[in-house]
A and B are shown apart, each in its own frame.
Chain A
Amino acid sequence: MDFAVFWIAAGVAGAAAINLIFQSKPINSVLSLVVVLFALAVLYLQLSAEFIAALQIIIYAGAIMVLFLFVVMLLNLNQDQFGSNRKPGLRSFGVLIGGTLIIEISLIARAFVSSSPTDGQVVAAEFGSVAQVGRLLFGEYLLPFELTSILLLIAVAGALVLAGKREEAQPPEERS
């Protein structure tokens, strides 16, 4: 049962990720990434990380991907203007590099894991619960947590500056 769920989720994630990078319409890529996120949330649940699984759906699928969708719609990238991927040379180079990377990381992972027992530790029922992660977040890791708020503030300011409408940002010849 565990293995069935794992292989289904992993297969869906892999297939959707492949679909993501080879789609020519951006909207299909966005939806593929949403599918990947859901499949990963299933894996997180299997790894008894409930809080992170819930956050994955709320933050990633519910907010970040809606933002992507919003931008795709705003720019109206419906036309098949990305019919082909990059030039053939660059493309095969990319696949080559990526493939090498996949094999390399898998080999490292195998080498690392084969030196340790195959069964994970038994964890308490409250492992990964909101209470436990919350206590860590507001205790041991308080400083990084507070710093993330500054990061978000900077991101908000940056997004406003970059995407906000400003008359003086127009090139002078267009202002006339």
Chain B
Amino acid sequence: MNAVLYWTSTIAKSAYILVFPLTLAFFLAWAERKQSAVMQDRIGANRAKFLGRPFLGLVHMVCDAVKMFVKEDFVPDSGHRVLHTLAPFLAMFFALITFAVIPFGYQLTIAGETIGLQVADLNVGILFIFAMASLGVYGMVLAGWSSNNNYALLGGIRASAQMISYEICIGMTIIGAILALGTLSMQDLVIRQGYHYFGWLPRWGVLLQPLGFLLFFIAGIAETKRVPFDMPEGESEIIGFNLEYSSMKFAMFLFTDFIETVLIAAVTVTLFFGGWQIPWLFESGFVWPWGGGWEIHPNVVNILRMAAFAAKVTFFCWLMMAIRWTLPRFRYDQLMDLGWKWLLPLSLANIVVTALVVLLVN
């Protein structure tokens, strides 16, 4: 592969995978207002207007961004100034870097060269995701610590306890999925979900691991620290680790939650819903299970697959948003009970059953 194509494609891929979650997170912040309004039968987010029109409340988002930028950036005097500034950057960094191993498409052929649509095809890709997810807790903990405020500190401790508890469950369900699919590379995981049972039923991870998917999704929502698992923040009354933050640093914590929502959606899609796979779509076009098919150019196929990945991720983001506005918050002991007494034993059982089945089938 020539150097020019290599570098342009790498930069383009990095830009895509950086812009994709940020854009989606922006729209999630909008959906947070608009979807809640729809679900609660309110009108909602219609006051800020541009040229006399509210544009479905999107103008509100622009106003919010301006407000966040021009607010005073408050740093508590007695806190740890360096860590106080570093914490939101850490939180956001570990959420964004994880996207580097997510395959957002299969491959494109440009000028006779194939370009894999994934920034870094590590052969320990899933471990990388797990590693970065387990580092995300540092941002919250350091934010709570460096504020030198007891409420923030308690929020940080709640955040670390919650994230560590649910990370274990995430790790265990991931083991189930990689046992069933037999690889650790993210791209291979998706490729192996491209087969069909009986010629028509797509072999997606959710068919092999229905329980694993449920557990992963619940633990994933807990990792994003949003309602019903929002004890670390608890913005309405108990106050959390981001208490002493204002201006853009506060917005970064807020945004990190949305980016993590996109991340959990993307990992769920990759592990359990076939990633960029579209049922019955192969490299040369659609092959219908009832016979016949459509011939499509391979590059068009792969652009369709990228669109399919984006659509699936958006769907799961929507689902998580709907859950967020449906369920009330757990009590803290209920949260710990759910994590340790229900999700963890179930995910362990899931591993045992999966391993037995894999052993018997092979």
B153 at the interface (CB under 8 A from A): yes
Residues of chain A within 8 A (CB-CB) of B137 are 62, 66
Residues of chain B within 8 A (CB-CB) of A76 are 153
Given the contacts A50-B124, A51-B124, A57-B131, A66 and B138 also touching, CB distance less than 8 Å: yes
**C-alpha spacing A61/B153, complex, angstroms:** 21
A31, A51, A61, A66 — most chain B CB neighbours (10 Å): A66
Which size class do A's interface residues fall under?
20 to 34
Nearest Cβ distance between residue B326 and chain A, in whole angstroms? 31
Instruction: Check if B160 sits within 8 Å of A66, measured CB to CB.
Output: yes
Nearest Cβ distance between residue A60 and chain B, in whole angstroms? 10
Instruction: Check if B124 sits within 8 Å of A58, measured CB to CB.
Output: no
B271 at the interface (CB under 8 A from A): no
Given the contacts A51-B124, A73-B141, A76-B153, A58 and B131 also touching, CB distance less than 8 Å: yes
B299 at the interface (CB under 8 A from A): no
Given the contacts A27-B80, A66-B141, A66-B164, A54 and B157 also touching, CB distance less than 8 Å: no
Considering only residues 30-82 of chain A, those with a C-beta below 8 Å from chain B are: 31, 34, 50-51, 54-55, 57-58, 61-63, 66, 69-70, 73-74, 76, 78
B184 at the interface (CB under 8 A from A): yes
Instruction: Check if A61 sits within 8 Å of B157, measured CB to CB.
Output: no
Instruction: Check if B134 sits within 8 Å of A58, measured CB to CB.
Output: yes
Nearest Cβ distance between residue A77 and chain B, in whole angstroms? 11
Which size class do B's interface residues fall under?
20 to 34
Residues of chain B within 8 A (CB-CB) of A73 are 141, 144-145, 153, 156-157, 160
A129 at the interface (CB under 8 A from B): yes
**C-alpha spacing A55/B131, complex, angstroms:** 8
B148 at the interface (CB under 8 A from A): yes
Instruction: Check if A62 sits within 8 Å of B145, measured CB to CB.
Output: no
Given the contacts A27-B145, A63-B164, A66-B164, A129 and B123 also touching, CB distance less than 8 Å: yes
Instruction: Check if B135 sits within 8 Å of A62, measured CB to CB.
Output: yes
Residues of chain B within 8 A (CB-CB) of A62 are 131, 134-135, 137, 167
Residues of chain A within 8 A (CB-CB) of B127 are 51, 54-55, 58, 130
Nearest Cβ distance between residue B84 and chain A, in whole angstroms? 12
Residues of chain A within 8 A (CB-CB) of B138 are 34, 66, 69
Instruction: Check if B124 sits within 8 Å of A130, measured CB to CB.
Output: yes
Nearest Cβ distance between residue B124 and chain A, in whole angstroms? 5
Considering only residues 118-160 of chain B, those with a C-beta below 8 Å from chain A are: 122-124, 127-128, 130-131, 134-135, 137-138, 141, 144-145, 148, 153, 156-157, 160
Nearest Cβ distance between residue A1 and chain B, in whole angstroms? 16
**Chain A residue, CB-CB nearest to B150:** A76
Nearest Cβ distance between residue A53 and chain B, in whole angstroms? 8
Given the contacts A27-B145, A69-B141, A58 and B130 also touching, CB distance less than 8 Å: yes
Residues of chain A within 8 A (CB-CB) of B83 are 27, 31
Residues of chain B within 8 A (CB-CB) of A31 are 83
**Chain B residue, CB-CB nearest to A70:** B160
Q: Contact flags (1/0) for A15-37 with B, using CB distance below 8 Å?
A: 00000000000010001001000
Nearest Cβ distance between residue B150 and chain A, in whole angstroms? 9
Instruction: Check if B124 sits within 8 Å of A63, measured CB to CB.
Output: no
Nearest Cβ distance between residue A144 and chain B, in whole angstroms? 21
Q: Contact flags (1/0) for A127-140 with B, using CB distance below 8 Å?
A: 00110000000000
**C-alpha spacing A62/B127, complex, angstroms:** 12
Instruction: Check if B157 sits within 8 Å of A70, measured CB to CB.
Output: yes
**Chain B residue, CB-CB nearest to A58:** B131
Instruction: Check if B184 sits within 8 Å of A130, measured CB to CB.
Output: yes
Nearest Cβ distance between residue A19 and chain B, in whole angstroms? 13
Residues of chain B within 8 A (CB-CB) of A66 are 134, 137-138, 141, 160, 164
Instruction: Check if A54 sits within 8 Å of B153, measured CB to CB.
Output: no
Residues of chain B within 8 A (CB-CB) of A63 are 134, 164
Residues of chain B within 8 A (CB-CB) of A51 are 124, 127
Nearest Cβ distance between residue B51 and chain A, in whole angstroms? 49
14 A-B residue contacts at CB 8 Å? A27-B145, A51-B127, A54-B124, A57-B131, A58-B131, A61-B134, A63-B164, A66-B138, A70-B160, A73-B145, A73-B157, A76-B153, A130-B127, A130-B184
Q: Which residues of A contact B (CB under 8 A)?
A: 27, 31, 34, 50-51, 54-55, 57-58, 61-63, 66, 69-70, 73-74, 76, 78, 129-130
The 3 closest A-B pairs by CB, nearest first: A62-B134, A57-B131, A54-B127
